Every structure is written in C-alpha cells, then in structure tokens.
C-alpha cells in the first residue's frame, strides 16, 4: 500500500518541477471546474471548491502519488437531475453519502476487482476518453455572448493560438527542461494575447472565480427516510462512477510511471474527500485523467505536485482571480489537445487487425459507449461483453478421455472447467445406459468453478443411480467435497491422493476459499 503524505528527500530541482507541474494543473483545472459546475447547474464556486478539496485530500492520502482529482463531467451529468428536482442542498447530502459508500468499498477491499477489467476495455476507455476530452474543447469555439459558433477572423485566431500552444509544448518538451512544457505554452500565449490586446475569449468570460474560503456547512435537508430514499440512488451511481473512473485512471498512471498504486487506499481517499467536500459546499469529484496526464507529462511524480495544484487553485480563488481570468481559453485548449494526443492509444489502430475479433469489437464498443454515454457505463458494458465471450470460449474447452480400470470400471478423465456455461457439454460426455456398473469421474485436470457445476455433478449422479449404477468421484477440491456432502448427495468419493488446491488466489498470494 502507498504511504500517506510525505516528501521523500526531494532535491531543489525536483521540488521546482513538482511545484511548477502543480501550477500547470491548477491553471487547467479552472475552466474545467467552472464548466462542470454549469453542467450540474450549480454556482461555479461549487465546482471550484470541489476541485480544491477533492484534489488536496486525494493528493495527501490517495493511492497514487501524482494523480489529480477534482470535479468531473461524468459526475456532473448525473447530478443535474437531482439539483433540478430537489436543489443544491440535496446534492451536498448526496455527496456525503457517496463518500461514505466509497470508504466502505475501500474498507472491504472492493477496489481489487478493477483487476477484472480486460486490456481491450482499458484501451477503449482511454480512446473514448480522449475523444470526449477533444469534443469538450470544441464548445470553447463558441461565442460566449451568443452561444453560436465562431466564424471568420475570431475562429482563425482561436485555432491559430491553440495550434501555437501545441507547437510550444511539443518544442519545449524536447528541448526545454527548466519549466513544464504546458505551463510555458500557457504563459507565452497569454503574454501574446494580453500584450497585443487580442480580443478572444478568456477564462473570465466563463464566470468569475473570485471567492472566499469554503465554509463548513451541514446540508439543510430534512433528516428523514424520505430524504434518504431520494439521495441513496444518486449516491450509489455517483460512488460507482467515481470509483471506476478513479481506479482506471490509477492503473493508467501507474503504467505510465511504471509504479504501483493502492486501489483500496484510493477508494478510502476518494470517499474521505467527498465527505469533506459535501460539508464544505462542493459538488464532489473523482480522478481526472486529463489533468493527471498533464501532471505526469510535466514531471509530477510525488504528492507535492497534486498538493501544489490544489493550493494554487485556492490561491487563484482568494487572491489571483483577476489575473487568472485574463488567461485566453485558446492556450488551455491547446494544452488539452496535447493531452488528447498523449492519451489516445494510437497503437490500437496498428493492432486492431492482429488481435482476436472479439477483443477488437470490445475495444471499439467501449470507445463508442464512452462517447455516447459515459465512462462507467462503457467500462461495465465492456467487462460484461468480455466476460460473456470468455465464458463462451471456456464452455467449449471441457472434454474427457476414457479408460478402463483394473476392475472393469470405466474412467472419465475430465479436462477443462465445469461451470454454468459448460454444463450441457459436460452432460453429453456421459452415457449411463451404455456404461458399466461402476463409473469413475476423475477431476484431476478439471476444476469446478461455480454452484452450477456442483449441481451438474448431482444431476449426473442421479442419472447413474436411476439405472442402478455406481458413480465415483476423484480429485475434487476440498471445497467441492464439503458442498456436495452438505447438500446430502450420496456419491462415492475417492479421497486418496487428492491434491490440495484453492478456488482462487488473491493478488497478494493469500489463499481465498469460496
């Protein structure tokens, strides 16, 4: 498990890199938090406070140093119906309950199940997310006053400055190490726009970010069963979406930095952050893959970068709002376009025709659902399709070799898994009417995966019993023997020389019994 907040012997150069990386992330967080607050139909400060509080707490105690969390669009689109129907106070109460559920997920170590997400689903996740980030930036090419698409000169200026930012980032990432490339791009383009008085949309055109310190505030909702019934469904959905997005981002950042992250610790950190956020007037949040990518690419590797990002964001709100509001949106668009390029798994085009067709289908499906619906739904759909495809393939693997024993009994030496998908094939292997009086089924090269498999063994025993023949079972696991005995099944079981093996092995090597 990753340790909580610490500064492990950072050199002055590392401190500078981590701090400047945090500044870059904070600048990119401002328009995102404001935009997501608009989506949820709450005050922009509600989004900014969430970005600050969630970002700070997860940076200090989260499972992946360097990962950035804050208000996200995936959560905002769920929140809006609650806010419209019941008001923002119900949202704060929902965020508190969401946090409690996330802490429980961490306590019961449910985060480890993120390992069940197949690689094609991960590729589809990052590709779909890259497309979503790209599409989100297109809205910035609309006139802030009229809401219509820019045309002619304003559009070309926005595109030109966005492209200039991208060029600066590309060049600086190769040849300039003294300052993070995205930050340099923002500073140079901002200086050009402000210095020449170029009339293009700026951060302040979205909303004012000026405010005070977030204040402790117990949500003013009735403490009743009716309130609980209203907020519970939203809390469950938000907790699930937040954890799925956070844990997938944790895995992605861990791959990029070639390090490990603590899934259960991240669940607890996200939950703690959301509880605090709900009591301080924030809209809640989770990990942000775009900002996490900016942090990683800018050199952020420790908790200092995430902590700096949150503190810089608070400083913007308290003291530097007028300055931050002058930053041109074109510069931030350019930064996010570079994030899109870095996030998208371009190798998927190269391998699409080389991998199994089912995996290619899952990759494309998850990407499409991510764009059409949201990340959590896309991941769940991808996992379900992958699981069904795996079950179908596994169901076709069961078979048996037959042999004759010393006493004339017939021996079926099974191979392959026995579970709900392979039961029909399993039953077709046997011929009770034609078999001799004694039949032995050897499970040495087979495994029973679920209760349906045990039921299939019981049904097979009944088939042989109905024709007056004896069925013997060899080499079942101790778990299966116990369950069959508990079910009252009278099958002759040969326990001699049976192997000892578990049903599943947890990631840390401990044996898990079903």
- What CATH code is assigned to 396-507? 3.30.750.24
State residue 32's pLDDT score.
86
Q: Tell me phi and psi for residue 13, to 5 degrees.
A: -65, -40
Segment-wise mean pLDDT, segments of 10 residues, the chain, 514 residues: 58 93 94 88 94 96 93 88 95 97 95 86 88 86 78 90 95 88 94 93 89 94 95 94 91 81 92 97 93 91 94 96 92 91 88 90 92 83 92 91 90 93 94 93 89 89 92 82 67 56 37 36
State residue 177's pLDDT score.
80
In whole angstroms, how far apart are CA 189 and each of 130, 366, 368? 24, 36, 34
State residue 474's pLDDT score.
87
The three-class DSSP label of residue 473 is: strand
Q: Is the distance from CB of 144 to CB of 201 less than 8 angstroms? A: yes
pLDDT tens-digit series, residues 357-370: 999 999 999 999 98
DSSP classification of residue 142:
B
The three-class DSSP label of residue 487 is: coil
Q: Is the distance from CB of 316 to CB of 324 less than 8 angstroms? A: yes
State residue 374's pLDDT score.
76
Please name which of 299, 304, 276 lies closest in space to residue 218, comparing C-alpha atoms: 276
State residue 511's pLDDT score.
34
Distance CA 451, CA 164 (A): 61
For the chain, the maximum distance between any two Cα atoms, rounded to a whole number of angstroms, is 99
- pTM value > 0.95: no
Please name which of 462, 463, 503 lies closest in space to residue 481, comparing C-alpha atoms: 503
State residue 503's pLDDT score.
37
Domain ranges of the chain: 13-354, 396-507
Distance CA 69, CA 29 (A): 10
Distance CA 407, CA 14 (A): 76
Distance CA 333, CA 318 (A): 24
Distance CA 172, CA 183 (A): 10
Distance CA 318, CA 315 (A): 5
- Token look-up 């208000």 returns 71
Q: Is the distance from CB of 441 to CB of 412 less than 8 angstroms? A: yes
């Amino acid at each position: 498990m990753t340790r909580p907040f610490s500064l492990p012997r950072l050199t002055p150069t590392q401190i500078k890199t981590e701090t400047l990386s945090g500044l870059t992330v904070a600048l990119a967080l401002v328009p995102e938090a404001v935009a997501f607050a608009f989506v949820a139909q709450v005050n922009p400060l509600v989004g900014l406070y969430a970005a600050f509080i969630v970002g700070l707490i997860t940076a200090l105690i989260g499972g992946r140093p360097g990962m950035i969390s804050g208000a996200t669009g995936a959560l905002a689109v769920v929140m809006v119906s609650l806010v419209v129907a019941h008001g923002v106070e119900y949202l704060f109460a929902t965020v508190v309950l969401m946090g409690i559920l996330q802490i429980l997920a961490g306590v019961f170590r449910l985060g480890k199940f993120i390992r069940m997400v197949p690689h094609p689903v991960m590729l589809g996740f990052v590709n779909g997310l890259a497309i979503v980030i790209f599409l989100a930036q297109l809205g910035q090419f609309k006139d802030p006053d009229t809401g219509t698409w820019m045309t002619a000169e304003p559009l070309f200026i926005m595109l030109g400055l966005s492209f200039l930012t991208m060029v600066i980032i590309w060049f600086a990432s190769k040849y300039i190490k003294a300052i993070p490339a995205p930050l340099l791009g923002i500073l140079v383009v901002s200086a050009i726009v402000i210095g020449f008085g170029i009339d293009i949309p700026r951060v302040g055109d979205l909303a004012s970010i000026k405010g005070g310190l977030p204040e402790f505030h117990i949500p003013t909702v009735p403490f009743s069963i009716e309130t609980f019934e209203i907020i519970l469904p939203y809390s469950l959905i938000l907790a699930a979406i937040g954890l799925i997005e956070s844990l997938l981002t944790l895995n992605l950042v861990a791959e990029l930095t070639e390090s490990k992250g603590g899934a259960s610790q991240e669940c607890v950190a996200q939950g703690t952050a959301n509880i605090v956020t709900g009591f301080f007037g924030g809209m809640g949040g989770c990990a942000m893959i775009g900002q996490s990518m900016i942090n990683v690419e800018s050199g952020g590797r420790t908790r200092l970068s995430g902590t700096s990002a949150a503190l810089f964001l608070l400083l913007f709100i308290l003291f530097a709002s007028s300055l931050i509001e002058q930053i041109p949106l074109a510069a931030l668009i350019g930064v996010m376009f570079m994030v899109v390029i870095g996030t998208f798994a371009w190798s998927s085009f190269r391998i699409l025709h080389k991998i199994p067709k089912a995996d290619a289908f899952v990759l494309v499906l998850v990407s499409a659902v991510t764009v059409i619906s949201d990340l959590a739904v896309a991941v769940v759909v991808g996992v379900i399709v992958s699981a069904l495809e795996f079950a179908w393939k596994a169901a076709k693997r069961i078979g048996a070799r037959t042999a004759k024993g010393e006493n004339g009994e017939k021996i079926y030496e099974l191979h392959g898994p026995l579970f709900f998908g392979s039961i029909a094939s399993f039953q077709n292997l046997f011929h009770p009417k034609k078999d001799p009086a004694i039949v032995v089924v050897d499970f040495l090269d087979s495994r029973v995966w679920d209760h349906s498999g045990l039921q299939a063994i019981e049904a097979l025993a009944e088939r042989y019993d109905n024709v007056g023949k004896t069925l013997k079972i060899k080499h079942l696991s101790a778990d299966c023997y116990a369950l069959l005995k508990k079910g009252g099944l009278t099958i002759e079981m040969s326990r001699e020389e049976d192997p000892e093996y578990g049903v599943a092995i947890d990631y840390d090597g401990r044996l898990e019994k079903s």
